[in-house]
A and B are shown apart, each in its own frame.
Chain A
Amino acid sequence: MGKLWALKKSIWVFHLCTGSCNNCDIEILDCLTPKFDLERFGILLVGSIRHADVILVTGAVTRKCLPRMKLIWEQMPQPKLVVAIGSCALSSGIFSPGYNIVGPVDKHIPVHAYVPGCPPKPEAIIDGVVKLVGSLE
């Protein structure tokens, strides 16, 4: 067994919304509930960042959320992976000229997987997570 077998077999995710319209959050919820059911693979949504392997970030990063996002990322135990979901997390989307938006997620924390879409379909989110896990081999 390699060092990362726990990470590959049963990923515990934490969901962070940095100021989005919440559509991406609803699609993440769809992934975890019985229709697309990622929980059968052991992917569990946890309540504390200190229990998480992967953090799913949605939303264009607002000025108010930026210090909190950085604090949460620093509290995450290694090995940590970040997945940016939705076009707002990738590039601020349509909100990029806003007065309150301080840039996409990868300007502040390193991102390992990008899932574009507005919002991305649950199939796309699952595809992104599968590719991320596959790249850990």
Chain B
Amino acid sequence: MSSPDPIEAIKAEFEDRIVSWEEKSPKRYYITMPREDITKVADFIFAKQGARFIIASGVDTPEAIEILYHFAFDKLNKILTVKVPVPKERCEIESIAPIIDGANWIEREIAELLGVNFLNHPNPKRLLLAEDWPEGKYPLRQEPRRNR
């Protein structure tokens, strides 16, 4: 029985919405998507293709805050990363915690350290920072540097 390659299936499904597709090595794929599609993409990759959600990372870049969702296809020995840039002015993105339980805590962490608002998150409470840390101060946001 030959099952279709999940990575090709993802590429085919979202062909018109993918901003960029990079294959850094035979085991490592990066796709950049606009932020409106994140719930559809997460549902497709997680539920339909059976990938395992590893973790999410947040990066503060001069243009936008990038959130990277890492998924693993263990049987094929491949890792796929979905990169979603979020502008800093309206810093919101749909939460994938209703679909993927494992994303619950990491989204709380990104929310309090980088200041991204996850819409419809089931439990948007503070996770790591101290109780008396002031609201609105996001420790992992970078100051604008001169020689960037």
CB-defined contacts of A62 to chain B, threshold 8 Å: 130
B139, CB-defined interface residue at 8 Å: yes
Q: Contact at A100–B139, with CB atoms within 8 Å? A: yes
- 87-137 of chain A: CB within 8 A of chain B: 99-100
Q: Contact at B139–A63, with CB atoms within 8 Å? A: no
Closest to A99 in B: B139
Closest to B138 in A: A99
Minimum distance in angstroms from B136 CB to a CB of chain A: 14
Closest to A98 in B: B139
B129, B130, B132, most chain A CB atoms within 10 A: B130
Minimum distance in angstroms from B1 CB to a CB of chain A: 47
Task: Place the interface of chain A in its size category.
Answer: under 10
B135, CB-defined interface residue at 8 Å: no
In the assembled complex, the Cα of A69 lies from the Cα of B145 at a distance in Å of 37
Closest to B139 in A: A99
In the assembled complex, the Cα of A54 lies from the Cα of B136 at a distance in Å of 40
A64, CB-defined interface residue at 8 Å: yes
Minimum distance in angstroms from B129 CB to a CB of chain A: 8
In the assembled complex, the Cα of A64 lies from the Cα of B133 at a distance in Å of 9
Closest to A66 in B: B130
Minimum distance in angstroms from A101 CB to a CB of chain B: 11
CB-defined contacts of B132 to chain A, threshold 8 Å: 63
Minimum distance in angstroms from A108 CB to a CB of chain B: 15
In the assembled complex, the Cα of A53 lies from the Cα of B146 at a distance in Å of 53
In the complex, 12 of the A-B residue pairs with CB atoms within 8 angstroms, ordered by the A residue number, are: A62-B130, A63-B129, A63-B130, A63-B132, A63-B133, A64-B129, A64-B130, A64-B131, A99-B139, A100-B129, A100-B130, A100-B139
User: Interface of B with A (CB < 8 Å)?
Assistant: 129-133, 139
User: Interface of A with B (CB < 8 Å)?
Assistant: 62-64, 99-100
